[in-house]
Amino acid sequence: MTPAYRLADCHLHFEGSLPVETLEVLGRRAGHRFADRTAFEDARSAVRDAKTFLSLYADVCPLFESPADYGEAASAIARSLASDGLTYAEIYVSPEIAARLGLDASACLREIDRGFREAEAEGAIHCNILLDAVRQWGPESAERVLDVHEKTGLASVVGFGLGGDETSVPTAAFAGVYARARALGLRTSVHAGEWGGTESLTEALDLLRPDRVDHGIAAASDPELMERLADEATTLWISPTSNVATGVVGSIEEHPLPRLLDAGVRVAIGADDPLFFATTTAREHQLLRDQLGFGERTMRQLAENSWRAAFLSSSERDRRLAEIAGHHPPRGRTQPSVSS
């Protein structure tokens, strides 16, 4: 599936972006039940909420037994994102997952960086890294993630974010970690307003001051919060299929994305975890055309937003925006709604 516009997806997670073939290879090597694709597909189809999703995520993590496994997976991920027609990606990597598996987290991160570079040299897309802290493991674990960054100093690490169970450790506990991440020169994002409500999203904005937000769809129930997001030009990196799979939205047709766009909120689209949600970035965009009736103007706006909110240099961002401005898709209707 080739998207109509060049796209960046900056809301992807490492384990959740593994091609299923790589999952099988790692599974056979590790003697893991997901060596059998049917076993994995059965487990995937049992996901219905945050708890079952996080449990499946945790089940996949022990497939990695060495830094080299991470490097091999990184190359496979960069190649599969390229074959989906993506142009650029920022991928969340959780060094604390590797540490909990008894591996050297810094060595695993260096291997991921090497795997991405190797695949790029062979024609895959450019992938940068977002360091991810797991909320339920608390602020000390998040500080160790930044320690790994200080130790490794990889240029491909461009940002820091918080994922995991939004309803676990209170946001205030991470304010110091975010301040340290910024002092280290990292851009920031946070998973908020996904499984938590508007208060959780407001707290994340007030206390963490992120450059962008992953999901943030709770804002759609609060006109004032949508106005704030629009005024502050904070991008919500939204993943519609993920939201349906984890039970926070009933169906794609009921997704609040059109409401957010109509309120002037800046939105970009990401696949989140293509492996777990049986989707891709291109597919997420196609769904919006096919199932929500989004027109050319909106699709172009979503593509532009993906470059505006990417943690790239301003010259690279402007080059990508100019490319889209010079791209003339088939003419469509021109009324000012998401169908245009």
Residues 153-172: x where in contact with Zn ion by CB under 5 A, - otherwise, as a string: --------------------
177: nearest Cα among 203, 211, 202, 141: 141
Paired tokens of 264: 């002037």
Stretch that binds Zn ion, among 41-49, 145-153, 210-218, 282-290 (CB under 5 A): 210-218
Measured distance CA(5)–CA(303) in Å, rounded: 6
Decide whether 171 or 242 has the Cβ nearer to ligand ADE. 242
We find the least distance from the C-beta atom of residue 336 to ligand ADE, in angstroms, to be 31
Q: What are phi and psi of 134, to 5 degrees?
A: -95, 115
Decide whether 59 or 120 has the Cβ nearer to ligand ADE. 59
Q: What are phi and psi of 236, to 5 degrees?
A: -95, 125
| Close Cβ partners of 49 (under 8 Å, ≥ 6 residues apart) | 246, 247
Decide whether 5 or 53 has the Cβ nearer to ligand ADE. 53
Measured distance CA(249)–CA(265) in Å, rounded: 19
User: Which partner from the list ligand ADE, Zn ion, none does 285 bind, CB cut-off 5 to 8 Å by kind?
Assistant: none
User: Which partner from the list ligand ADE, Zn ion, none does 222 bind, CB cut-off 5 to 8 Å by kind?
Assistant: none
| Close Cβ partners of 114 (under 8 Å, ≥ 6 residues apart) | 71, 74
Measured distance CA(219)–CA(335) in Å, rounded: 25
| Annotated catalytic residue within 194, 203, 284, 296 | 194
Torsion angle of alpha carbons 211, 305, 93, 285, nearest 10°?
A: 150
Measured distance CA(255)–CA(292) in Å, rounded: 9
User: Which partner from the list ligand ADE, Zn ion, none does 194 bind, CB cut-off 5 to 8 Å by kind?
Assistant: ligand ADE
Is residue 41 part of the annotated active site? The answer reads no
We find the least distance from the C-beta atom of residue 235 to ligand ADE, in angstroms, to be 16
Stretch that binds Zn ion, among 152-160, 211-219, 286-294, 320-328 (CB under 5 A): 211-219
Binding site for ligand ADE (CB under 6 A): 13, 16, 57, 163-164, 191, 194, 242, 272-273
Binding residues for Zn ion, rule CB under 5 A, total: 2
User: Which partner from the list Zn ion, ligand ADE, none does 72 bind, CB cut-off 5 to 8 Å by kind?
Assistant: none
Decide whether 5 or 57 has the Cβ nearer to ligand ADE. 57
Decide whether 222 or 272 has the Cβ nearer to ligand ADE. 272
User: Which partner from the list ligand ADE, Zn ion, none does 212 bind, CB cut-off 5 to 8 Å by kind?
Assistant: none
190: nearest Cα among 245, 147, 132, 148: 132
Please report the beta strands in 139-240, taking only residues with DSSP state E, as ranges in sequence order. 157-163, 187-192, 212-215, 235-238
Residues 248-287 close enough to bind Zn ion by CB under 5 A: 272
- Binding stretches for Zn ion (CB under 5 A): 214, 272
- State the catalytic residues: 194
